[in-house]
Structure 1
Amino acid sequence: MKFDRNTPPAGSVRDWLDARAEAGGTAFIFPETDEVLHWPALREHAAKVAGDLTAQGIAKGESVAVMHPNGLEGVKALYAALYGGFRATMLNLAAGPDALGYAMEHSEARVAFVHDSQIEMYRKVRPDNLHRYTPSDASEALHEVEASDDALLMYTSGTTGRPKGVVHTQSSLLAGGWTVSVAHELTSQDRGMGVLPFYHINGLCVSVIGSLVSGGSLAMVSRFSASKFWNQAETGGITWFSVVPTIISHLLHGQAEPSPALKRRLRFARSASSALAVETQRGFQNRFGLAIVESLGLTETAAQCLVNPLDPHLHKIGSAGKAISNEARIADDVGTECARGAEGEIQIRGPNVMKEYLKNPEATKAAFHGDWLRTGDLGRMDADGYVFVTGRLKELIIKGGENIAPREIDEALYEHPDVVEAAAFARPCAQYGERVEAAVRLSEASTATGEELRLLCEERVGKFKAPEQVHILDELPKGPSGKIQRLYLNDLLYGP
């Protein structure tokens, strides 16, 4: 199997792992433990465990749960499930007991790969029919696997209602790694930095599957650390990395610096999962001299669906980029495409789009206008095809009948040099229906006050849109990828 920038990957994950194993070389390195995993050894392990699972009666496309943090054993578990033609069900370790138990039961998994650090939680929430994988001496011929077969089940954050189980096929999962490889011109000489959890779609498709499709490799660490990041990147020998805006901000406000050798080797940094504030992007690029490629991705699109071109001269700061290797449009409520420059819902069509929400045909139907996936993001598209995200449909603040995009307030707050994290949110109000408030995290030495930040917003966006109060917190609530969860802020500050 060879990477072709003009054609989505054919075959299955098994086919691609076989091809990488035949070519040889390094697949993963783990800077924290000095472990190295080569493609042939990864294929050998995956084939052995997959044969064992088949002998134990696990059917093709059946869910196999993976309850692991980033690390050697987690990677091996993931590839064993994918290689056998099973539906790798990635359990979000940051989701909490209720969501974990729901995912285990809803997925109908009967076997789980469980890391030793997760045993207590696993035993607490597992349904009776789910058992931890125990190796046996048996083996059986593997299931035949086709591109259209299920490969991945990943549950959404579930900020409103129960999480939905996003199902990707072998082909759409591989396409997730392909879109990244095409847009970033990845080759077998590239090594990424796996700092985001691989049980999140960004960490899985961009970093792990991107390396599989491109033939490159990945330096994986257990979690992000602002003080250790640049040293780990140096030790890992990376050429690029994919993170989220909160990590970009923490690196910008941190004391650590990349070495001159690392700066020379790094080709680009990549930001996704939520909008990157303009001031944060400019500040990072000015300080470190490293271009940030901003992008947009969803669990439903196997990560990347919009991305700025690799050439820094073609970047449009403030834009999530354009469709590369898939299609994007802006449409109204009934699915009619909007004129360029008009605001509407961002919709995506392409080989990386999900198959369905598991056991939820109503939600699946509602997620599409024809074959266009409704992202739930609001935006506009300029004459060059670049998309500018203006907000989330579910996150809009409606004050006195006027729609206010929280991102506009976020951007104003990030203009203050001490603001590390910021999120505006809606607060119920008897007079206007909803009013604007905001929460921030400040750098350690900051003496800024909430009133000072409120006045900054008033100056930037006007009195009507400015938050009535800015709360200063030690930490803002985040999802597993590091994305700030603004919908939780009202309950966090005022109670349910």
Structure 2
Amino acid sequence: MARTIAELIKPHPETAPAIGAPGREWLSYGALREQTETVRAALRRSGVGASDRVAIVLPNGPDMAVAFITVAQSATTAPLNPAYKEEEFAFYLEDLKAKAIIVEAGYAGPARSAADKFGLTVIELSPDADGPAGTFALSTAATGIEAAPDALPGPDDVALILHTSGTTSRPKIVPLLQSNVAASAANIQKSLQLTPDDRCLGLMPLFHIHGLIAAVTTSLAAGASISCTPGFDALKFFGWLEAVDPTWYTAVPTMHQTILARAGRNAEVIGKARLRFLRSSSSSLPGAVMKKLLDTFGAPVVEAYGMTEATHQMCCNPIEPGKQKPGAVGLAAGPEVAIAHEAEDHLIDGTGEVVISGPNVTPGYEGNPDANAKSFFEADGKRWFRTGDQGVFDEDRYLTLTGRLKEIINRGGEKISPLEVDGILSDHPAVAQVVTFALPHEKLGEEVAAAVVLKEGETADERAIRDFAAERLAPFKVPRKVVILDEIPKGATGKLQRIGLAEKLGLGA
């Protein structure tokens, strides 16, 4: 089994298509391997060695995908969100201890300003507009650089560094080894039964673990192909579906819901599509949305459960038609998955904190012994990582998440799972999207609130939605406040965020 990214892409035929983009010529596996050698030579000339860290700040698309895959075979990659402000770039570049940064040729934005402050080597990427997708040259204007030794990263070297989202505290650095990436890609390939005949339509941001691992790296591990779009665009999705002719795509629930909103006027394109399955991950997929996707596309909808510290995937619903359980994130799909006591370091039966153990799990947060002491423990001869999620297995060993422990609403001592309330409100015929969140309360500490987006052409007021919930939920779980919005605020990756939502919506105590 492959233990490095180089080993993942080594066995595939020279002429097989690897990476493309809508309207572009495909980059073959042979050309991808050649590009890897070209990138390595450019990095070594720029003084970047096998253990040095390279920040990558590029827009979504084939150049970003190929930059990640090729640089990760020569050094440590650190993809950053191109939308960051200068202060954010400065924080991440300093925190990462980056040696160099890759930007587009001619780029003079905030990432470059931040890089100049720290004296980083700026490497410019010049795309070959006439060549296959993802063909580019790297160069630097820096002078007096001593070339780095041409060593290759091994299984225990860091391939990828990402930060946790940091919604409640300083973001933590998550180093992912070459062996972590290789193990996770193999796990996802197996759970999705990917073959060289498969083709992915890449919609997810490529500074995020979901897009980097589930879409790009897993496709390449399977010898399959991926067409990388400039980023999710509901207005262009069905045109891409027709032009790329993919067998699958992976997205977050909000993307799926936006696609569904435009599906009715694109029935002809959907009828011709050869989608084998649709995949959803990174946040909970409401059961009603899973059913609507299945009815619309006639293909299984596979919900998976992932997080950065697991190099993305931990659980996945089976791919076989009819084996998916709406509301469940599936069966263990790679690492061992168990339930632990939320305060004590031992495994339990029933509801508790979801923990994982396996070769795809990060060795630990960098430079953060306190976080490691809280997040890892030894039990039953294994090292377990605490995910921060609360969950429970059913009799078939499907895992259902009951909420993020830090998102559980504590209403005067009564604990409410936002996911449970989401599921009930999603069944309302007028509701398109819902996020249940904690609202500060003077006496109870927290109260239940919900932000709702209505379906196009549907109407409902706060009272109607609360009455609907009251018929299906215990009184203490019924939202005391329902805010009807045109759009719910999202994070950079398209995920709906509960923590801090009351503040964002101007709902104080």
Q: Deviations over 1:76-133 (max 9, x none)?
A: 321231121x110011235554433211111111211113696412134334222320
Partner of 1:423 in structure 2?
435
Partner of 1:471 in structure 2?
483
* Distance (Å, rounded) in 2 between the aligned partners of 1:123 and 1:258: 45
Partner of 1:438 in structure 2?
450
Is 33-42 or 104-113 further displaced after alignment? 33-42
Matched, 1:218 2:226: yes
* Distance (Å, rounded) in 2 between the aligned partners of 1:478 and 1:79: 28
Partner of 1:50 in structure 2?
40
Change beyond 3 A, Cα 1:93–1:479: farther
Query: Per-residue deviation at 1:241?
Result: 1.0
Partner of 2:66 in structure 1?
76
Query: Per-residue deviation at 1:310?
Result: 0.9
Change beyond 3 A, Cα 1:141–1:258: farther
Change beyond 3 A, Cα 1:95–1:400: farther
What does 1:150-299 align with in structure 2 at a 5 Å threshold? 150-254=158-262, 255-257=264-266, 259=268, 265-299=274-308
Matched, 1:335 2:345: yes
Q: Contact (CA 8 Å) 1:273, 1:298: kept in 2 or not?
A: yes
Query: Per-residue deviation at 1:139?
Result: 7.2
Q: Contact (CA 8 Å) 1:196, 1:481: kept in 2 or not?
A: yes
Change beyond 3 A, Cα 1:388–1:95: farther
Identify the match of residue 51 of structure 2 among 40, 61, 76.
Answer: 61
* Distance (Å, rounded) in 2 between the aligned partners of 1:284 and 1:315: 13
Which amino acid counterpart does residue 214 of structure 1 have in structure 2? Answer: A
Identify the match of residue 408 of structure 1 among 420, 437, 443.
Answer: 420
Is 470-479 or 394-403 further displaced after alignment? 470-479
Query: Per-residue deviation at 1:136?
Result: 5.7
What does 1:96-115 align with in structure 2 at a 5 Å threshold? 96-115=85-104
Query: Per-residue deviation at 1:389?
Result: 0.5
* Distance (Å, rounded) in 1 between the aligned partners of 2:10 and 2:320: 33
Identify the match of residue 466 of structure 2 among 434, 449, 454.
Answer: 454
Query: Per-residue deviation at 1:407?
Result: 0.9
**TM-score, normalised with respect to structure 1:** 0.92
CA RMSD after TM alignment: 2.2
Partner of 1:27 in structure 2?
18
Query: The residue matched to 1:188 in structure 2 has which SS?
Result: coil
Which amino acid counterpart does residue 288 of structure 1 have in structure 2? Answer: F
Matched, 1:129 2:103: no
Query: Per-residue deviation at 1:495?
Result: 6.8
* Distance (Å, rounded) in 1 between the aligned partners of 2:287 and 2:500: 24
Query: Per-residue deviation at 1:330?
Result: 0.9
Partner of 1:3 in structure 2?
none
Structure 1 gap ranges (5+): 1-8
Which amino acid counterpart does residue 54 of structure 1 have in structure 2? Answer: R
Query: The residue matched to 1:353 in structure 2 has which SS?
Result: coil
Q: Contact (CA 8 Å) 1:51, 1:141: kept in 2 or not?
A: no
Query: Per-residue deviation at 1:12?
Result: 1.8
Q: What is the identity percentage for the equivalent residue pairs of Structure 1 and Structure 2?
A: 35
* Distance (Å, rounded) in 2 between the aligned partners of 1:62 and 1:295: 33
Q: Contact (CA 8 Å) 2:315, 2:334: kept in 1 or not?
A: no
Change beyond 3 A, Cα 1:37–1:165: same
Q: Contact (CA 8 Å) 2:121, 2:140: kept in 1 or not?
A: no
Query: The residue matched to 2:328 in structure 1 has which SS?
Result: coil
Q: Contact (CA 8 Å) 2:53, 2:78: kept in 1 or not?
A: yes
Query: The residue matched to 1:228 in structure 2 has which SS?
Result: helix
Change beyond 3 A, Cα 1:136–1:408: closer
Which amino acid counterpart does residue 483 of structure 1 have in structure 2? Answer: K
Change beyond 3 A, Cα 1:471–1:359: same
* Distance (Å, rounded) in 2 between the aligned partners of 1:219 and 1:228: 14
**TM-score, normalised with respect to structure 2:** 0.90
Change beyond 3 A, Cα 1:57–1:139: closer
* Distance (Å, rounded) in 1 between the aligned partners of 2:411 and 2:296: 38
Q: Contact (CA 8 Å) 1:173, 1:205: kept in 2 or not?
A: yes
Partner of 2:311 in structure 1?
302
What does 1:315-334 align with in structure 2 at a 5 Å threshold? 315-332=324-341, 333-334=343-344
